[in-house]
Structure 1
Amino acid sequence: MGLPQNIVIVEDEVITQRYLQDILMNNQVNVSGCFDNASDTLEALKTIHCDMILMDINIKGSMDGIQLARKILETYTFPIVFITAHNDDATLEELLELAPYGFISKPFSSKDILATLKIAYKRYLIHSEVSKVKTNEEPTDIVINKYYTYSQNVSVLYYDGQAIKLNKKQDQLIEILSKNINHTVGYDTLISYLWNDDTVADSTLRTLVYSVRKLLPDLPIISHSKVGYSLQSLQ
């Protein structure tokens, strides 16, 4: 899985803009546009092709890169990778609120750019696949067996009509398995969805599955060796 076809660069330093353009163009990526401020970026996104945005935090104008990203995400689902010269806790915390697909610290090399963009785009494609919903249908309850039901409306697992209290990661695991009932969800997809991080070990996922099985031993989570896990409807 490679790089996106069309990338928009938002960067107010001309030299950095040109450096990024050279890196991308040398790797057969189309630079749809280069902008140094929020208003030009927002206007251009209405008409140009964009698969990903490479966003510097410090740009010209009253709106910085983080504020611009928030504005963009109100309308679009473009994955955004941030460029920052600031690694302080306050900046990182503000970035993490946006659940970015990646960020790059200045100074950077072409290898840093390409590796980060490839990982970010892979995460985006996996997340997009997992998040597909049938827009012409209302969410329905998923009946797993005579005891368990998963409500898509409130994202809660019920046992014999009683809501089950789980921690955040357990909830997310049940959510993705329930939405893919009777289908195997691969290790890479699960890890990306749960941790948004390719560096998480398979053992971390196994530990999470074990914790759910220990808590809910009669919930039919099936292991598929070297592939992934599925939640099986036994009706």
Structure 2
Amino acid sequence: MNLPNNVVIVEDEVITQRYLQDILSNSDVHVSACFDNAPDTLEALKSIDCDMILMDINIKGSMDGIQLARKILETYTFPIVFITAHNDDATLEELLELAPYGFISKPFSSKEVITTLKIAYKRYSIHSEVSEVKISEEPTDIVINKYYTYSLKSFALYYDGQSVKLNNKQNKLVEILSKNINNTVGYEMLIGHLWDDDNIADSTLRTLVYSVRKLLPDLPIVSHSKVGYSLQST
């Protein structure tokens, strides 16, 4: 199994950073950069080579590793492997929402790191190949149920063949949910796509969803408590 060529390390302990660098260097993996906080990581990802991110959960600053990973995945498709000293149920539940490619528990060995990275990168490569096939075969219309379809050509929702009048935000919400039909889309991802301001409250999103439900009560938008929303085909 192959290893990624360029890895970014996000870890706030200098000793652990160096240990990881040594492990990767001994396996001919290039470490593009090391960071200990979210802002520096986000800025650097705009310009450095990255095939995978090793992400510690506890990093410096107001944003932890899980929150940083959510932010990264709004823009990029990098596979992320989490490093954590916490194996409690609440932490694992948060991590699983992001469908990570792997976990490394502290303390770890060099063999564990390399094995985890190989498996994670193999999974990512297979997933990327499948995604490319799906994209090439993607239909122009997403069928929600026997009444509703969403057109990827006109970017409009149709009810029984007739275009449904929605405002820009309502239409964008339906578009995102349609493109991820039967999958839950998290609050942060929806807010990130719908508004430029990260400080938008969850209540603003709930109000938007309510407005769509009020207008289209039979459109199957499902709420997932503390997680997000999905559009379920029926």
What is the TM-score with the length of structure 1 in the denominator? 0.59
- Whichever residue aligns with residue 153 of structure 1, its letter is I
Paired residue secondary structure (1:153): strand
Please show how residues 162-201 of structure 1 align to structure 2 within 5 Å. none
In the alignment, the residues of structure 2 paired with residue 39 and residue 136 of structure 1 have an alpha-carbon distance, to the nearest angstrom, of 35
Number of equivalent positions: 147
Q: Which residue number corresponds to residue 50 of structure 2?
A: 50
Q: Which residue number corresponds to residue 29 of structure 1?
A: 29
Deviations 1:58-86 (A, max 9, x none): 00000000000000000000000000000
Please show how residues 34-183 of structure 1 align to structure 2 within 5 Å. 34-133=34-133, 139=139, 153-154=142-143
**1:85–1:130 CA distance, 2 compared to 1 (3 A):** same
Q: Which residue number corresponds to residue 14 of structure 1?
A: 14
1:30 Cα deviation from its structure 2 partner: 0.3
- Whichever residue aligns with residue 36 of structure 1, its letter is D
Q: Which residue number corresponds to residue 190 of structure 1?
A: none
1:137 Cα deviation from its structure 2 partner: 7.4
In the alignment, the residues of structure 1 paired with residue 143 and residue 96 of structure 2 have an alpha-carbon distance, to the nearest angstrom, of 25
RMSD: 2.3
Q: Which residue number corresponds to residue 175 of structure 1?
A: none
Q: Which runs of 5+ in 2 are unaligned?
A: 146-234
In the alignment, the residues of structure 2 paired with residue 98 and residue 59 of structure 1 have an alpha-carbon distance, to the nearest angstrom, of 18
**1:89–1:56 CA distance, 2 compared to 1 (3 A):** same
- Whichever residue aligns with residue 34 of structure 2, its letter is C
In the alignment, the residues of structure 2 paired with residue 116 and residue 95 of structure 1 have an alpha-carbon distance, to the nearest angstrom, of 16
**1:89–1:21 CA distance, 2 compared to 1 (3 A):** same
In the alignment, the residues of structure 1 paired with residue 144 and residue 107 of structure 2 have an alpha-carbon distance, to the nearest angstrom, of 42
Segments of 4+ in structure 1 off by > 6 A?
none
Deviations 1:154-213 (A, max 9, x none): 489xxxxxxxxxxxxxxxxxxxxxxxxxxxxxxxxxxxxxxxxxxxxxxxxxxxxxxxxx
Paired residue secondary structure (1:81): strand
- Whichever residue aligns with residue 123 of structure 1, its letter is R
Q: Which residue number corresponds to residue 225 of structure 2?
A: none
1:135 Cα deviation from its structure 2 partner: 5.7
What is the TM-score with the length of structure 2 in the denominator? 0.59
1:2 Cα deviation from its structure 2 partner: 1.3
In the alignment, the residues of structure 2 paired with residue 67 and residue 55 of structure 1 have an alpha-carbon distance, to the nearest angstrom, of 11
Paired residue secondary structure (2:78): coil
1:153 Cα deviation from its structure 2 partner: 2.5
**1:20–1:139 CA distance, 2 compared to 1 (3 A):** same
